[in-house]
A and B are shown apart, each in its own frame.
Chain A
Amino acid sequence: MLETDRNQLHKLVEEALPELDMVIGWGQSTDSFQTTPVFVRDAKQISQLTLGPFCSQNLTGYLVKPPALDAAPKEGAKPIGICVKGCDSRSLVALIQEKFLTRERVRIFGIPCRGTVDWNKVGKLVDLSNVKSATVEEDVLVVDDSQTTHRIKLEEVLARKCYGCRYPNPLIQDVTIGEPATPRSTSIESSYRDVDRLDAKPLEERLDFWQSELDRCIRCYACRNACPLCVCQDKCIIESREPRWLTQRVGIPEKFLFHFIHAMHLAGRCTGCGECERACPMDIPVTLIKEKLNKIMEERLGYSAGLDVEAVPPLLTFNPGDTEI
């Protein structure tokens, strides 16, 4: 099935490429299992494109960064093609909502998603240091580590965000590749299980939890830079010298403050794509922080980011009739 979808993707991209500036998609990285973003400008590169459960990166952030950004402002510039999964499409909607992009700027190749693999989880079951090959057969991940062939149920090694996913099918797209996927979750309750689990603990335990998790943070800002909606990038308030909100220290308070600000700037804007958590080299559940805010927005204001291009994010507007939100 993946093979047919891949061929269809290649065919569709080949047809569309002459009208496009480039197509942003996923390709094989230098190791045998992970994917890396590829920027297809030439028909020769199309064969690099791939799809499936290994395509974890959310590519929409590249639309507001170079080189896609450089291609945009020119007069009469061609649209940019982009491959999106369900969650990625929400980021794209959010970028359009906030007017960082116009719908016409992008040609969207929508890919229904059955979940993406979290290699950290696979690493707990298989030694990933010398993987020869990794493939997917239906709902089983097959990893060959040059000694044995491991067969792992995909459902057990998906990224954390996937288990509460309500929108596996792209919400905005020009073409669809493959069959629609069934959502794993259909309700608020089943989408925020991890948040509820932590919320059920006493306050002190929650503080302890975050103190020990955030202690590992090395302030590399991978979470920030991977986030498609962290649009300030080089102008981030965290790095501002004047005023200087945050010192260079690496104590826990500094890390807390950074993650607080990161989360608050995404309140009502975060689409829960999980890029921050995936990018973290220290295995900190950073998306969980934003999930809590997403839950607050959903429960109190009935708002989820990235569903409607016309909607205004709730913290960028107000209602005089609000009492408590």
Chain B
Amino acid sequence: MTDEGPRSIAPADGTAADTQGIKIVGFLCNWCSYGGADTAGVCRFKQPTDLRVVRIPCTGRMDPLFIAKSLIYGVDGVLVSGCHPRDCHYAVGNFYARRRMEAFKAFLPFMGIDTRRFKYTWVSASEGQQWQKVVTEFSEQIHELGPNPGVRRQTGENSKVSTGLR
């Protein structure tokens, strides 16, 4: 990732009112929520356009690193969605994921990152309407919070030394 980071795609001017360039990353499991989002699309349910979807095989694949990296570098919100508990394509992937994400959610604010920017939920392939609801609500919440400043990029002494930068 270059210095400009994710913001470079559509730079926000930094004011709280500016929610035009809001970006939400959605990690959706291949078997349920990705299908659910597809169902919502096929049914032509109106959805906010802030969401960028990354398809993962199972929420069990969800490494907290993905969420941390997104939020640290200034993605405005992260939404993880998978099969309902007991309905996992791989039987137990989402059970592991649930514990991991709960722990991570509780940990985020300790490092100074707003936990409301991260949400995980369960949506099945047939729940197009549910998907519309989840995305709309989460998107509204993120718009209310405004752009995520992320972690400060340039400070202190170590980074000031990089005199190679113009």
Contact = CB atoms under 8 A, between A and B. Distances in A.
A218 B159 CA distance: 11
Interface stretch (B23-31, B48-56, B100-108, B124-132): B100-108
Interface size, A (range):
35 or more
B107 A293 contact: yes
A212 to B, nearest CB: 7
A207 B111 contact: yes
A209 interface: yes
Given A250-B159, A256-B151, A320-B85, A208 B102 contact: no
Interface in A291-308: 292-293, 296-297, 300
Given A218-B158, A260-B65, A293-B107, A253 B150 contact: yes
Interface string A196-213: 001100011111111110
A318 B68 contact: no
Interface residues of B, number: 39
A322 interface: yes
Contacts of A289: 110-111
Given A218-B158, A251-B154, A300-B106, A322 B65 contact: no
A237 B158 contact: no
Interface string B144-164: 000000111111111100100
A211 B96 contact: no
Interface in A258-276: 260-261, 263-264, 267-268
A198 B151 CA distance: 18
A325 interface: yes
A154 B92 CA distance: 50
A251 B96 CA distance: 32
B1 interface: yes
* Chain B CB within 10 Å, residue with most, of A215, A218, A257, A318: A318
Contacts of A208: 112
Interface of A: 195, 198-199, 203-212, 215-216, 218, 237, 245, 247, 250-253, 256-257, 260-261, 263-264, 267-268, 289, 292-293, 296-297, 300, 314-315, 318-320, 322, 324-325
In the A-B complex, list the 7 residue pairs whose CB atoms are closest, starting with the nearest. Answer: A207-B112, A318-B95, A206-B112, A215-B156, A260-B68, A325-B102, A292-B110
